[in-house]
Structure formats: structure tokens, C-alpha cells
Structure 1
Amino acid sequence: MGRTLVELFYDVVSPYSWLGFEVLCRYQHIWNIDLRFRPAFLGGIMQATGNKPPAMLPKRAEYMLKDIERMGKYYQVPVTVSADDFQRIFGKSSLGAMRFITATDMTQPKYLEPLSREFWMRFWSQHEDISQLESIVAVAGQAGLSSEFTQKLLDMISSPEVKNRLKETTEEAIKYGAFGMPAVVAHFNGKPHLFFGSDRLELLANVIGEKWLGPVPSVPSSKM
């Protein structure tokens, strides 16, 4: 059988995208899949679909604080969240970061995985800014990008090519039916299958005929 293309549409402002990202990274060499990272803009998806950030509902925000902490431990991803983080999300845009990631995808996609991870680490583990220029430069350095390459990417992020690429990817996610992130699209049996959220990857495995081994497949179960 051929390999199944699995696309992950994500934005680094989404903590649940980080959870799904890490699990799919772990499975990309276990399942018979080709994993394709699709950096998109969550703000654009929310606006186009009329969706609202879940943290805008006080009771749901209260639940998310506990939910993300539990899921971080279960998925073994160092995501932590506080009420202040929700205010940071509302007050800062991830557009610059996502354009920088998009420019990376267009030039040196091999850096896409470590760069995206470092943006999540900075925002959701270290609770630092990712919207300012100096923050983006710091993340690029942590991901192993040279200063010359980083400057090239910074020069690209205001270009029509990068802006259009990010817009087109975001629109593609919406066409698949995405209304939030992460949005995972598996191309199986001649058609796309959309899965929303980081907690639907077990269902993804079932649909594409792969075995689900838990969120951390490299760690053997203690129960036989």
C-alpha cells in the first residue's frame, strides 16, 4: 500500500496544536504516513468561520487551565498555562511568527519542525513574547538557524509571496472544513478526512488503518 499523506494545519499560538504536533512527529516514523506541516493563521480561520476563542467563555477558560495541564503531562509536552496566557493571546498576534515560519517552509523546510517547536516552547513553556522582532530572532537562534538565514527570512515576511502563501494555506484549511486548530487532514482512499483537535489522533489511526500506541509510543506500557 502507498503511504498516507497527513497534513497538520497549525498556529503556534494554539497550545493544542503543540500537543498534536508532537504526537504526530512521534508517529511519522511508526505509521506508514508522509507528515506535512502546514503553517496557517488561526486568527484568519476564526474570523472566516465566525468561531470564538474558547477562553472568552469564563467557565470554559477555567476548564482549559486544568485541561491543558493534564494533557501536557499525559502527552509529555512541557506546555503550561495560566490566566495571564489568555490575555497574552488576545493582546498579541502570531501573524509575524507564522509568516516567519511560512518563509522557512518556502526556503528551508527542514527547519520547520525545530523552528515551530521553539516558538511553542517560548510562548507556552517559557511564557515569553513571540510577536516582537527580537523574539523571533531569539527563537530562530534556538532552532539552529544562522543569523544570515534568519535575516533572509525577516526580509521575506513582508513580501507578497509569503503573505499570499500563508493566506492560501489558511484558506485551504477552511475549505477542508477547519474551524479551529489543530486541523489534521488525512488523504485516504481517495478523499480527505478532517480531524479537529489533538485528542482525535486515535480516531485518525483507526481511519487510516494504523495502530494507536498512545501519545508517547516510544514508552512501553507498564501493564501487560
Structure 2
Amino acid sequence: MKDVTFYLDFVSPYAWLAFERLPQALEGLSYHVRYRPVLLGALLQQHGNPGPAGIAPKRDWTYRHVAWLGHSLGCGLDMPARHPFPPLPLLRLALGCSEDGCINRFVAGTILRHVWLGGQDALDPVRLERLAQELAQQQVPDPDGQQGRAKALLRANTDEAAARGVFGVPAFEVDGRLFWGLDALPMLRACLAGDPWFQGPAWDAAARVPSGLAPGY
């Protein structure tokens, strides 16, 4: 059985879509998923990447595209009332349910549905309180009562993800290999299924192609 680490941030619509599609994409394979929340904004900032929402025409396209994908894949996706939004309250709530930086599928799905179904404000205080109550039985006692453990886990998760080369979400790690994005699920499946391509030179050779641009171009 292979271990798959699924890096996600609840602010990402593609994280929701990949979460929903993962069981179908990997059907029939032996694997175990570890859901690890990270702060997407910190990963983007490290590479000077404004993200899709930072480029106005790309923002428009991304929101149309993910809405259509939710429809076409049958899982639904309603843009929240405001997007992007600061995801820290959701990330810390999720990691309040964790002792080691990973959360279970119930916690991940509950928070993702809170954001991506219904078209409501993800940070509305009344909705956040209701969400916290829904996850109350999953919570791990925090000695300082100030989400100190959850904050520390989020920092550690994000730092570790960056060190391992994660630059965006959703991202999946298997045996030290990273797969990024919803459209990487077929490639992830092939890797888990033992496709011999992954044992050949192509994986490493692709990353060694030199750039044809001069510095500062």
C-alpha cells in the first residue's frame, strides 16, 4: 500500500474538486491518503506568484472554469460570496482536529463543503460557529486554549511543504514525487499502479531541460 500526502488549502477550488475526484481517480488501487493543510498564500509568495486571483482576466476565467468543472464532474461548486478570502480560520479549525499535522477525510470534506457548496460567505461568524460545532467531536484538546498547537502545525506543514518543493495546491506526494493539480490525477494513478514510465529516465530528464531565456528576460 502506497502513502499519498494530499496538500490542500480550503481557499482553493481545485482542492475541492480534487478531493471529490480522488476516490474515483484511484479506484481499485491500494493506497492511504494523508490530508495535510498548508497556507497557499505563503507558498505562492515564496515564488513571487500572485495566483489566479491576482490577475484580473485569469481570475474571471478561473472562476468560470471551476464552476463548469463542478457541474461537469457532478460534485457541484458554488463560488463563495467573497473570494479570495483569508483561509487562516478554516486552516486552524482543521488542524485543531489534528495531533500530527494531518486531518482525516471527514474533517477535510466538512470544511471544503462549507466553502464550496451553497455560495455563502466562508468566514461568516454564524456559519463558522456552526462549522466548529459540527467538528467539535473531532477536536484535540489544546493546552493553551488559544489554538497554539494548530498554529504551530500550520507553520510546520507549510514550511515542510515548501522544503519539499510544493508550490501550489492541490498537490500530491508519493515516494518523494510531487504531482500538482486536478489534472495530475491520471498521472498520479499511473504512478501508484506501477507504470514503468516512472522507472525510466523521463521524470528526471524533463526537469533538466535548460531555459532558453536570458536572465531578467
TM-score range, shorter chain: 0.7 to 0.9
Please state how far the C-alpha of 1:53 moved relative to its aligned partner.
1.9
Q: Is contact 1:173-1:183 (8 Å) kept?
A: no
Query: Aligned partners of 1:89, 1:65: CA distance in 2, in Å?
Result: 10
Q: Which moved more, 1:61-70 or 1:94-103?
A: 61-70
Match of 2:172 in 1: 184
Query: Aligned partners of 1:99, 1:68: CA distance in 2, in Å?
Result: 25
Among 85, 90, 105, the alignment partner of 1:97 is: 90
Query: Aligned partners of 1:134, 1:206: CA distance in 2, in Å?
Result: 43
Please state how far the C-alpha of 1:114 moved relative to its aligned partner.
2.3
Please state how far the C-alpha of 1:150 moved relative to its aligned partner.
5.6
Q: Residues 74-122 of structure 1: CA distance to partner in whole angstroms, max 9, x if unpaired?
A: 33222123xx75xx234x3111110110120228x7x732232222222
Unaligned runs of 5+ in 2: 196-217
| Residues 25/137 of structure 1: CA separation in 2 closer, same or farther (3 Å cut) | farther
Query: Aligned partners of 2:26, 2:126: CA distance in 1, in Å?
Result: 32
Q: Residues 1-46 of structure 1: CA distance to partner in whole angstroms, max 9, x if unpaired?
A: xx11111000111110011112224456631111111111112212
Q: Which moved more, 1:56-65 or 1:35-44?
A: 56-65
| Residues 76/31 of structure 1: CA separation in 2 closer, same or farther (3 Å cut) | same
Q: Is contact 1:96-1:157 (8 Å) kept?
A: no
2:41 is equivalent to residue 43 of structure 1:
yes
Q: Residues 172-196 of structure 1: CA distance to partner in whole angstroms, max 9, x if unpaired?
A: 2112211111111112xxxx11111
Match of 1:158 in 2: 147
TM-score by length of 1: 0.74
Q: Over aligned residue pairs, what C-alpha RMSD do you find?
A: 2.9
2:108 is equivalent to residue 116 of structure 1:
yes
Q: Is contact 1:31-1:210 (8 Å) kept?
A: no
Equivalent residue letter for 2:90: A
- The answer to which structure has the higher helix fraction is 1
Among 45, 61, 67, the alignment partner of 1:63 is: 61
Q: Is contact 1:99-1:162 (8 Å) kept?
A: yes
Query: Aligned partners of 2:26, 2:192: CA distance in 1, in Å?
Result: 13
2:190 is equivalent to residue 206 of structure 1:
yes
Query: Aligned partners of 2:173, 2:32: CA distance in 1, in Å?
Result: 12
Please state how far the C-alpha of 1:137 moved relative to its aligned partner.
2.5
Aligned-pair identity (%): 23
Query: Aligned partners of 2:162, 2:69: CA distance in 1, in Å?
Result: 26
| Residues 102/29 of structure 1: CA separation in 2 closer, same or farther (3 Å cut) | farther
Q: Is contact 2:10-2:112 (8 Å) kept?
A: yes
Query: Aligned partners of 2:126, 2:23: CA distance in 1, in Å?
Result: 28
Query: Aligned partners of 2:42, 2:121: CA distance in 1, in Å?
Result: 20
